[in-house]
């Protein structure tokens, strides 16, 4: 049996999704033109803090929270008229998550290169 590695899946996703810089994400957030979505685990948020004005949707629940037909759908959690900008700790999980949401039919979506690590040093306010 041959399986694809996680790094292969990420590389394939990166070819099909839009990636933006932390600076571009900050501009979108400051202009209120996006939903900044943190998909990190709750333990990561507790340990490292979170980006101010971001919404938390854990990676493990993303597809269910975003599916209007799911019993777990979080109506009103994000503004569906704005671009969705996903991030994780380093940009790998958010690449896969962005690809998954694209597969579900979401169009106005991207992820932040370098994730939380790069955002911390790019002007985002981190709150505990």
Please report, for the domain that includes residue 75, its CATH number. Answer: 3.40.250.10
64 part of a folded domain: yes
Q: Which residue's entry shows tokens 């998954």?
A: 100
Q: Which domain holds residue 64?
A: 18-127
pLDDT in tens, the chain (128 residues): 899 999 999 999 999 999 999 999 999 999 999 999 999 999 999 999 999 999 999 999 999 999 999 999 988 889 989 999 999 999 999 999 999 999 999 999 999 999 999 999 999 999 98
* Residue 1 resides in a domain: no
Domain for residue 112, yes or no?
yes
Number of domains, the chain: 1
d(Cα 94, Cα 122) in Å, to the nearest integer?
A: 18
**Strands of the 19-20 sheet, one edge to the other:** 19-20, 109-112, 83-87, 34-38, 55-56
Q: Is the pTM of this model over 0.85?
A: yes
- What would the DSSP string read from start to end of 114-127? THHHHHHTTTPPEE
């Amino acid at each position: 049996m041959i399986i694809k590695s996680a790094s292969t899946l990420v590389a394939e996703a990166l070819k099909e999704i839009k990636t933006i810089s932390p600076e571009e994400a900050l501009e979108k957030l400051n202009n209120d033109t996006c939903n900044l979505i943190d998909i990190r685990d709750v333990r990561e948020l507790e340990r490292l803090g979170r980006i101010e004005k971001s919404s938390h949707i854990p990676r493990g629940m993303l597809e269910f929270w975003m599916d209007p037909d799911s019993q777990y759908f979080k109506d009103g959690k994000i503004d569906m008229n704005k671009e969705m900008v996903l991030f994780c700790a380093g940009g790998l999980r958010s690449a896969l998550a962005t690809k998954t949401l694209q597969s579900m039919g979401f169009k106005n979506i991207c992820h932040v290169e370098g994730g939380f690590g790069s955002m911390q040093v790019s002007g985002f306010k981190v709150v505990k």
